[in-house]
Amino acid sequence: MLKIRFFRKGLKKKPFYSLIVINSKNQRNGIFIDRIGFFDPFSKLKKINLKKYIYWKRVGAKPTSSALKIINEFIKYNK
């Protein structure tokens, strides 16, 4: 099963997250299939490739609850 979830990067106490498509059996920072965006919680910067997101949703990838919040917020403010 495919999941759309966060991949943690950055320094200690200064996280930076990539939004990735990954097999649900892999670890959080394991080998991923595709990178579809990123999120910086300190600067509130978000960038998501909606074409890739829609493609992976059609293929059957399911976003986690935290990823879905960020994606919905991105879509709401970037219409």
Tens of pLDDT, residue by residue over 43-75, are 888 889 999 999 999 999 999 999 999 899 888
Q: What is the pTM of this model?
A: 0.83
Task: Kindly list the structural domains of the chain, giving each domain's residue range(s) and its CATH number in brackets, ordered by start.
Answer: 2-77 (3.30.1320.10)
Q: For 1-11, how does the pLDDT look when each residue is reduced to its tens digit (9 = 90+)?
A: 899 998 888 89
Q: Please check whether residue 39 is in contact with residue 19, taking contact to mean a CB–CB distance below 8 angstroms.
A: yes
* Mean local confidence (pLDDT), 12-32: 86
Q: What CA–CA distances, in Å, run from 26 to 6, 12, 71?
A: 13, 23, 22
Q: Residue 42: what pLDDT? A: 87
Question: Mean pLDDT across the chain, nearest whole number?
Answer: 89
Neighbours of 55 (CB within 10 A): 14
Residue with tokens 């059996």: 25
Q: What is the Cα–Cα distance from 45 to 50, expressed in whole angstroms?
A: 16
